[in-house]
Amino acid sequence: MVYDDPACKHVSKAWVIGGSTDNLGGDPIEVVGFDNKGNRQRKTVGLRILKAAGPAPGLLKYILSGSSLPSEHPNIDEYRNEPKSVTSVFGHANAEGAFSVGVVEATPGQKPLQPSYYSSPGGLPILFDNHGQRLSEPVARKHVVAMAPTNVNTSFFSKTRPDVEKDGKPNFTGTSDAAPHAAGMAVCYYKQQQEKTTF
């Protein structure tokens, strides 16, 4: 549950901003959303994870998703000063055989390129098989496979997006920006290899 009170002291429904307990398939996952749109001030909220029934889990992981803009990206105070070692690649991006792409900041003049603060290093272990049976040994898939730039000029978004270079053109940020770059480079490389092998 996400509470309007950072200390999660007020448990009445009037204080609860969002939450989810409806899990039809019984999968051990819950999703909660909070939207602070319309309010330009950052807001501190409380996150509370409750056990409804059954034995306590031996391992619990929560993943925070949000905007790739620094001014809009949420953060968890508990891990604010942690080194960049927390894994968050999950779902289809962590599937067997997936090609996951991370993000580096395409900031003019910055060398070497640095991973973006929201880009996961990958490596989230898989503990169960497709039938929900515990694996004898966890499988750690070494995603992310490639890194590609973000913050490039775009004509797709409105002028409300940031203009990093101050050239009058908004910038596209995030993994949604990086993945097409990686795909484009792969196509170029493939075509080059074809041309080299053409007789």
Residue range 142-182, pLDDT digits in tens: 778 888 888 888 777 666 677 777 888 888 888 888 888 88
- Tell me the three state secondary structure of residue 39: coil
The confidence score (pLDDT) of residue 135 equals 92
80 pLDDT above the threshold of 90 = no
**Cβ atoms within 10 Å, residue 92:** 8
Side-chain half-sphere exposure of 1, counting CA atoms within 13 A: 20
- Which residue has 């991973």 as its token pair? 115
Annotated domain spans of the chain: 88-199
- Tell me the three state secondary structure of residue 127: strand
- Percent of the chain residues past pLDDT 90, beyond the cut: 2
Mean pLDDT score, 31-36:
72
Nearest-angstrom CA–CA distance, 69 and 114: 16
Torsion of CA 68, 70, 72, 73, to 10 degrees: 60
38 pLDDT above the threshold of 60 = yes
Contact between residue 101 and residue 144 where contact means Cβ atoms under 8 Å apart: yes
**Residue 115: φ, ψ to 5°:** -60, 145
